[in-house]
Every structure is written in structure tokens, then in C-alpha cells.
Amino acid sequence: MKSDQNNLSRPFHAAGARGVLACDGVSLQALAKQYGTPLYVYSGTQIVERLRLFQSAFAGREHLVCYAVKANSSLAILKLLAENGAGFDIVSGGELARVLAAAPEAAGRVVFSGVGKTAEEIDAALDAKILEFNVESESELALLASRAKKRGVKARFALRVNPDVFADTHPYISTGLREHKFGIDIRQAAAIYRAAAKNKWLEPHGISVHIGSQIRSADPFGAAIRRVSKLAAQLRSEGVSLCVIDAGGGLGIDYHAGGDASDPAAKVAEYAAAIEKALDGFEGRLLIEPGRFIVAQAGALVTRVLNVKKNGKKTFVITDAAMNDLIRPALYQAYHEIVPVKPRAGRTRVVDVVGPVCETGDFFARDREMKPVEAGDLLALLDAGAYGMAQSSNYNSRMRPAEVLVEGKKYRLVRRREEMRDLLATEMV
Ligand SMILES: *Cc1c(COP(=O)(O)O)cnc(C)c1O
């Protein structure tokens, strides 16, 4: 918490004389009491602020911020973003249904990415008249053409090209190298556009690229866009004019206690400058697809300590949240700052913070120096707004958490806690 007091990157701050952690103006202790734990809490205020950072960074050109739904697909968050002008990047028919449920008026602002779209998913997206399909293979393009023909409509598409750019991030979320499953080799793209331009059911509309996630430097974004705008210029000279460049998502956040280095406005400005420079004369519309950067730091997972136990030299803090609620530490060895909601005085000690799931991989922190905590205390796992609830599961037949959206001093439940009947609802004996 040392630097947190002046850290603009998070909406969670100690408030009042007793220093209880609050989200915007709402005490996490009060929310835990009202809704139970584990509980996801989001600052809607920060989510909108982050969206606006991108919107104003690109205000000088025609653009659309297509929030990547997979980072956090809560309907209330989608609605909030849509109301503030966002479009959406989806990767499944389920995500399309979510956007249509939360903000049907935003259908025309949806781009559909993903390496394996089914005919049913394509049909649903054609019917919804989405903005563009980001196509990842020639066979998918053929499928798109055949579905469009059946409906008698022209499908707008972009090829998601693979620019062969290395982005320094966790190998599971790096996507821009030729050896990855994503995209079409950029060297083959021109020929595919030329052929598609002759197909009456296809409209070459854009080029897209997405090189990975949690990328902290602006350089790889610039490198990828340089290659993409070169291709766009080449195609234009051959008579295939594309009106959109989609730069994808991937801008990373600082999961370690913030400070100046992680000033979000500066980060977005640097990212935008790299992209602007690389667009090099492209006059069409720019799309970007940020997910994590918009929602990650707006969210915390609030959990109660069930038990503190010692095994040999190790101290384990066992929480009522587990890897099924937040899998990032187990899946990506990710770091999450963990802070007591109501700090106790005393010396720090080194602990493991773990959940009750029957897996050694079920941990939130290992060998972490923490202020004393006791059974019954509340902890907040920070920066949990992205790829937290969205990647949660019912593993160990655990019911998934509730979600609360805070805006200033107001708050509301936006997803109720699952109950046992929800878990059993789809099964037959
Ligand atoms: C995951 C993904 C994003 C969002 O990535 P973030 O790192 O959350 O910004 C954007 N576009 C595509 C195609 C994706 O797969």
C-alpha cells in the first residue's frame, strides 16, 4: 500500500480515520457485509475514464474504441461502455448475445475476431449487421462468403494478419509471431484480398492485427502497424481500398504497486503516438480493441480469510476465494497486489495466500510479505477487473462470486452470487 495513496492508477484507497479500503467512495467492508464474499467490486468511474483516455488520444482522426468483451463481459459494464460511445470486439456468439442484451444499439459497432467461428455464429453476426468480421484464414473467408450469399447480403471483412512481431509478454498471451495459431501470414494477405475483391458477397473493409496481451512497451504496436499500413498502401495502389485499420488490443498495466511509471494517461499517450506515427498517411478509420487496460485496475476481488495455518516453516493464509474465481496467478504466474481491507498494526511476515481448491496451483501469492492477518479479516486482490470473473469457473462445484458496480458514492449489485440450484440446473440424473 506504500505508494497507493497517490497512485492514480487504482480507484481503491484507504478512507476515513480507520483506514478502511474503499472503491471510489464506498467501503469494501460495507459491501462485503451486504453481499458476502468472495465479491468482485468495480469502479464504473474508472472504467469510463480509461475509455475516455483512448478516445481523446485519437480524437484527431476518425476512430472507434472497440472494448474487448472477453476481458470482462459483465452486462452492466458493457452497457456503461456503450453509453459512452464504445464499440466492442467479440470472439464468440455468446459475446455477441451479451452485447445485444446490454446495448442492442451498439450492434453496428461490433467487430468479430477469433480463429474458429461457426456458421451459426457468423449467421447471428450477419443478422445483427455488425461492423466487420476479422477473418483469420482463407477457409473462414470462404465460409463467411457462403453464409453471406445464403442471406443475400455482403459481408464486410478485415483479414487479421500476423505481422511476425515479437511482443515481450507471457507466452500464453503472445499472438503476433508466425508460429502462433492467430492470423494470416502478412505475406499472403494481398493475394487473398485481391481474390476476395472479386467475390460479390464479400467487401474488403479493413486490415486487423492483434499481437498479444499485457504488452508494456509501445514499440511492438508501432512495428505491427507499420507493416499493416504498408500493406494497406500497397493494396490501395492495386485498387483495393480499405477504410479501416484495426490495431487490436494488448496494452498492458502495471500489476505491481504503481507510481509515476504507470501513469495511465502517459501510457495511453505513448501508445497512441506510436500508432499515429506508424499509420503514416493512412486516412481511413482507426479501430483499437483494448480490454485489460480499460477494466483491470477498476476491479478488485474481495475475499475473507478463513484460516491462517502453519506447515513447517510456511504460513498459509487461506481465503474463501480460489483459483476458480481468479485463475490468473495459477494460469500465468500472474502477480496481484493483495491488501487488507482494514489493516492491522504489527510486523510484516512472509506468507502464501491460497484458496480452498484441491490443487497446489490454487494460490494467489507465494512468499509474499504482508501485514498480519487473522481469520475473519477481509483482503482485496487488486487489478482483478480483467480476466478475473470472465475466466471464472465452477471447479470444485464452487459457486461463482457476485459483482458490484460502484460509481462515486452509488453502488449496485450487477450479478447475484450463484446458488447451488444454478450449478445443478443443466444436469440430468
Ligand atoms: C484478447 C484480445 C483483445 C484484448 O486484449 P487486451 O490485452 O485485454 O487489451 C483484443 N483483440 C483481440 C483480437 C483479442 O483476442
Q: Which of 343, 411, 290, 366 is CA-nearest to residue 39?
A: 411
The answer to whether the CB of 246 is under 6 A from ligand 1 is no
- Does some domain include residue 82? no
Q: 104 alpha carbon to ligand 1 midpoint, in Å?
A: 22
Dist. CA 348–CA 327, nearest whole Å: 26
- Does some domain include residue 98? no
Q: Are residues 320 and 263 in the same domain?
A: no
Is the confidence at residue 174, as pLDDT, over 80? no
Mean pLDDT of 211-237: 94
Q: Are residues 143 and 218 in the same domain?
A: yes
Q: Which of 215, 225, 295 is CA-nearest to residue 250?
A: 215
User: How many structural domains compose the chain?
Assistant: 2
Convert the pLDDT of each residue in 3-53 to its tens digit. 343 346 899 999 887 889 999 999 999 999 999 999 999 999 999 999 999
Type of residue found at 331: L
pLDDT category, 128, cuts 50, 70, 90?
very high
**Residue 89: partners with Cβ closer than 8 Å, 6 or more residues away:** 66, 67, 68, 69, 110, 111, 113, 249, 289, 291
Q: Are residues 274 and 125 in the same domain?
A: yes
Q: Are residues 256 and 134 in the same domain?
A: yes
- Does some domain include residue 57? no
CATH of the domain at 253: 3.20.20.10
- Does some domain include residue 237? yes
Tell the residue nearest (CA) to atom 10 of ligand 1.
249
> DSSP states of 37-48 as a string?
SSEEEEEHHHHH
- Does some domain include residue 216? yes
Pocket residue to mutate for ligand 1, from 89, 169, 246, most atoms within 8 A of Cβ: 89
- Does some domain include residue 261? yes
Tell the residue nearest (CA) to atom 3 of ligand 1.
249
Q: Are residues 134 and 21 in the same domain?
A: no
Dist. CA 136–CA 306, nearest whole Å: 46
The answer to whether the CB of 113 is under 6 A from ligand 1 is yes
For residue 401, give its domain range.
Answer: 12-43+297-424
Average pLDDT, the chain: 93
Is residue 160 a contact partner of residue 113, using CB atoms and an 8 Å limit? yes
pLDDT at 126: 98
Out of 255, 273, 290, a domain closes at 290
The answer to whether the CB of 114 is under 6 A from ligand 1 is no
DSSP E strands, 136-288? 155-162, 184-185, 202-208, 244-246, 285-288
Catalytic, 358? Answer yes
SS3 217: coil
Q: Are residues 274 and 314 in the same domain?
A: no
The answer to whether the CB of 213 is under 6 A from ligand 1 is yes
Decide: residue 124, CB within 10 A, 0-12 exposed, 13-18 middle, 19+ buried.
Answer: middle
- Torsion angle defined by CA atoms of residues 254, 24, 82 and 297, in that order, rounded to the nearest 10 degrees: 10
Q: 374 alpha carbon to ligand 1 midpoint, in Å?
A: 38
The answer to whether the CB of 250 is under 6 A from ligand 1 is yes
Dist. CA 28–CA 192, nearest whole Å: 53
- Does some domain include residue 85? no
Which range (271-275, 355-359, 411-415) has the least confidence?
A: 355-359
DSSP 320: S
Give the nearest ligand 1 atom to 387 CA. Answer: 8
Is residue 163 a contact partner of residue 220, using CB atoms and an 8 Å limit? no
Is the confidence at residue 116, as pLDDT, over 70? yes
pLDDT category, 180, cuts 50, 70, 90?
confident
Percent of residues, the chain, with pLDDT higher than 90? 87
pLDDT at 39: 98
Pocket residue to mutate for ligand 1, from 70, 245, 271, most atoms within 8 A of Cβ: 70
pLDDT at 5: 38
CATH of the domain at 363: 2.40.37.10
Dist. CA 237–CA 231, nearest whole Å: 10
pLDDT at 7: 46
Q: Are residues 196 and 283 in the same domain?
A: yes
Percent of residues, the chain, with pLDDT higher than 70? 96
Is the confidence at residue 212, as pLDDT, over 70? yes
pLDDT at 359: 85
Dist. CA 70–CA 79, nearest whole Å: 15
Catalytic residue among 23, 66, 243, 358: 358
Mean pLDDT of 153-166: 92
Out of 290, 310, 331, a domain closes at 290
Q: Are residues 269 and 137 in the same domain?
A: yes
Pocket residue to mutate for ligand 1, from 210, 293, 328, 389, most atoms within 8 A of Cβ: 210
Mean pLDDT of 170-197: 82
Convert the pLDDT of each residue in 377-398 to its tens digit. 999 999 999 999 999 999 999 9
pLDDT at 375: 98
Q: Which of 102, 101, 108, 71 is CA-nearest to residue 87?
A: 108
